[in-house]
């Protein structure tokens, strides 16, 4: 199971995981609404990691924040909870760690911190949906220097970032311009009236219990 995820100065976006781009603005990805059919995630009980291949790019108006690595860990529910006859299955993951972050503007630094238990929720269908759930206040982006702003993602409650899941080795989760609620505080240049950011990113979900058996979503 996704960025590795908002606003700093004009509008900061944050992110997800494998070569992830996080962007504020732009047309949102159309994620189909799946009927509540059966879903299973296998292997049951497998330990997983979500890792980045490439950089996580957080764009904020005039500011671009690039984080070179993103890592999280979790596990597929044990049987029978890895199956749902009438809906999705959730894989809980730890709060992702974003590291080696930098901006494209001289004099502006950025840090991304996360907290709480996150989740990747999948629903089988003709297109497998894969959403990332961020807990209340689960991501904070701070910029300093020319623009000193603090942006909290999911400030009032858990937020769901809609995306798609693709089976493979490793399987991936992709979100494109998926909206997420934010709250920004700070001084001059901070978009304190902005209420929504968007996330674009691709994540890899790796089976660390048995790498020869990729995580698979099916009916």
The arithmetic mean of pLDDT across residues 166-182, rounded, is 89
Give the mean pLDDT of the chain: 82
CA dist 107 and 32 (Å) reads 42
Decide: 41 and 215 in contact? Cβ < 8 Å: yes
The arithmetic mean of pLDDT across residues 129-138, rounded, is 96
The arithmetic mean of pLDDT across residues 172-176, rounded, is 88
Separation in Å, CA 133 to CA 7, 93, 163: 19, 10, 11
* Residue 86 token pair: 């009438």
pTM of the complete model? 0.81
pLDDT at 8: 37
CA dist 139 and 149 (Å) reads 14
pLDDT at 169 over 60: yes
Label residue 25 by pLDDT band (50, 70, 90).
Answer: very low
The arithmetic mean of pLDDT across residues 197-207, rounded, is 85
């Amino acid at each position: 199971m996704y960025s590795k995820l908002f606003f700093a100065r004009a509008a900061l976006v944050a992110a997800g995981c494998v070569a992830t781009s996080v962007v504020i603005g732009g047309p949102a990805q159309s994620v189909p609404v799946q009927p509540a059919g059966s879903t299973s995630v296998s292997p049951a009980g497998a330990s997983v990691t979500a890792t980045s291949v490439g950089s996580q790019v957080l764009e904020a108006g005039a500011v671009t924040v690039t984080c070179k690595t993103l890592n999280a860990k979790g596990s597929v529910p044990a049987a029978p909870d890895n199956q749902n006859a009438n809906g999705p299955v959730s894989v809980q993951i730890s709060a992702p760690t974003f590291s080696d972050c930098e901006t494209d503007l001289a004099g502006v630094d950025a840090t991304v911190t996360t907290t709480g238990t996150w989740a990747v929720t999948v629903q089988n269908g003709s297109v497998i949906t894969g959403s990332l759930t961020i807990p209340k206040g689960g991501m904070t982006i701070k910029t300093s220097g020319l623009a000193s702003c603090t942006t909290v993602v999911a400030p009032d409650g858990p937020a769901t970032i809609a995306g798609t899941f693709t089976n493979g080795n490793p399987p991936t989760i992709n979100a494109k311009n998926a909206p997420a609620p934010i709250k920004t505080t700070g001084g001059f240049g901070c978009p304190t009236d902005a209420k929504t950011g968007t996330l674009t990113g691709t994540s890899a979900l790796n089976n660390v219990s048995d790498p020869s058996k990729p995580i698979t979503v099916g009916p």
